[in-house]
Amino acid sequence: MTTTLRIASAQLNPTVGDVAGNLELVREYRRMAGDAGADLVIFPELMLIGYPPEDLVLKPAAVRACAEALEALAGDPGPAILVGVPWDDDGKLRNAVALIDAGKVQALRFKRELPNYAVFDEKRVFESGPLPEPVDWRGVKLGLPICEDIWFEHAPRALAEKGAELFISINGSPWRRTIEADRKRAFSRWGDLKIPLIFVNQVGGQDELVFDGASFSWDAAGKEVQRLKGFATDLSIADWEKGEDGWVCKHAERADVVGGLDADWQAMRLALADYVDKNGFPGVVLGMSGGIDSAISAAIATDALGPDRVWAVMMPSKYTSQDSLDDAKACAEALGVRYDIIDVEPAIAAFGGMLAPVFEGRDADATEENIQSRVRGVTLMALSNKFGPMVLSTGNKSEMAVGYATLYGDMNGGYNALKDVYKTEVYALARWRNDRNAPVGFGPAGEVIPERIITKAPSAELKPDQTDQDTLPDYDVLDAMLECLVEQEGDPNTLVAAGHDAATVARIENMLYRAEYKRRQAPPGVKIGPKNFGRDRRYPITNKFRASKTKL
């Protein structure tokens, strides 16, 4: 019976659908772990197809390709491996973990708890497996719960009753700000079992999700004995030994926990980098207005991709202030990115002349403001089409919530790093980034966002002396309302009881619902908080319900 094990946790960044590429990643890290003397290498959930695969696994060809990749791994030399794979189980599609050793697939176990809430919809594509049984491997009874299985008691307790000595859980667990506390709280439900846990998670961006990695191991008492890096590919070796009281980790490394604004930034940086790289864009182009949102978007992009892959474009009109021109240039220079000025006033004037006959007798209003924004959107899309970079949209969550954005204008783009970040959080992130005295990713250290960009009143500069607060409450007030209405699905009356103006609350609630049609057409953006617009929050576009006005 084996009494010592050298176990490698391979925290990797697969690409959804790239079965051949993911297979090569597994092979590469299996070789590296083998060179380090590992007996077993653990890879993330659905590693061979990437997570989440969504409806891709409904294609039989994709599932067959993964089965062929698994067979190829079985034929390779090297240490034993645990790897996630979609599996056709006699006509039932399962989310599976395969144990490969000694030239063949020794065992398969299937995920029982299929998440079907928030960003998850696994019940749409997979069928739930039976309560799992341990796998007897080299005389050791391994419990192999898959991701959601350890968020509930059923699978761990069933495994413990049948003699599991060590839990090894492969995961595709997306990041959010509360994830560390959420995991600890959930896993404590079965902590009385006193069985060590090795938790191996995916890392990287996939559309609107980002995976933090942050894989770890706990001893039988629930004490952390190993931790992998946050938001980075990592391979970590741990030495385990079986004694009178079960399996004990004798040696492993522990990386620092990434939290707070650092985690927010790393999540946005990694998600953007993977979206651009995995989709084959050479870089990004964005409108640089001299305002806080475009400045911080440019900083995230620079940290994610490097300054040589970021193109900032100032598009002034007759309403653009000299301060904005100066601030945009200063920010671009601090970041070291390409910066160009394209005067859009001729195009705006052309639209004005073209529409003058049908607009005759009508006062100027938001129509003319939107034309300016759309001219800028067309300009950026032209640069994208001609030269290849993806347009990076720069609107924040506060604006997306209430529709303070122009369809086919500033909402143009392939991705939005700030989509789930409220305006007040944008300011906090700007301060945090300026305080970094070491490089963050590929960007420079130190102040990259000029102080005046942070301190001046925010403005779209679409008419004389315009500020955002001509239309919206102060952002600290607005964000407090949105926190209640969006993140908590709260009652507007709660806000009124807390001292907010009833008419303002009703107006913001109405703006929130009315802007749903815009959000459906907005580019994707990474999930940061508990409830993002998109996968998390699915409201009807046609919707007459208003809690602030409902009387039954």
Q: Which residues contact 134 (CB under 8 A, 6 or more apart)?
A: 141, 142, 143, 144, 159, 162, 163, 164, 165
Catalytic residue among 66, 111, 278, 419: 111
Residues in binding site for deamido-NAD(+): 370, 399, 518
The answer to whether the CB of 30 falls within 8 A of the CB of 41 is yes
Three-class SS state of 506: helix
Which residue ranges are tagged as binding site for L-glutamine? Answer: 117, 173
Using DSSP, state whether 255 is helix, strand or coil: coil
Tokens standing for residue 471: 């239309």
Active site residue 148: no
The tokens of 474 are what?
């102060």
DSSP assignments along 115-154, one per residue: --STT--GGGT--PPPPP--EEETTEEEE--BGGGGGSSH
CB pairs under 8 A, 24+ apart, for 185-190? 186/150, 186/151, 186/152, 187/150, 187/151, 187/218, 187/222, 188/222, 189/152, 189/153, 190/150, 190/153, 190/156, 190/157, 190/160
Q: Which of 45, 148, 165, 425 is catalytic?
A: 45
Which residue ranges make up the annotated binding site?
Answer: 117, 173, 287-294, 370, 394, 399, 518
Please check whether residue 302 is in contact with residue 442, taking contact to mean a CB–CB distance below 8 angstroms. yes
DSSP string for residues in 172-227: --B--TTHHHHHHHHHGGGGGG---EEEEE-EEEETTEEEEB--EEE-TTS-EEEE
Rounded-to-integer distance, Cα 355 and Cα 481, Å: 39
The amino acid occupying position 511 is M
Nearest to 7 by CA among 32, 42, 35, 31: 42
Collapse the DSSP code of 500 into the 3-class scheme (helix H, G, I; strand E, B; otherwise coil) and give the result: coil
Q: Tell me, yes or no, if 133 is annotated catalytic.
A: no
Which neighbouring-strand residues pair with 7?
40, 238
Question: Given 66, 113, 122, 147, which residue is catalytic?
Answer: 147
182: amino acid identity, one letter: D
Task: For the chain, give the number of residues.
Answer: 552
The backbone torsions φ and ψ at residue 434, rounded to the nearest 5 degrees and listed phi first, read -65, -25
Residue with tokens 């040589």: 308
Per-residue tokens: 411: 């909402």
- Cα distances (Å, whole numbers) of residue 115 to 81, 143, 199, 267, 547: 25, 20, 18, 22, 30
Please count the other Cβ atoms lying within 10 Å of the Cβ belonging to residue 431.
Answer: 12
Question: C-alpha angle with apex 73: 67 to 76, nearest 5 degrees?
Answer: 150
Is residue 111 part of the annotated active site? The answer reads yes
For the annotated catalytic residues, the residue numbers are 45, 111, 147
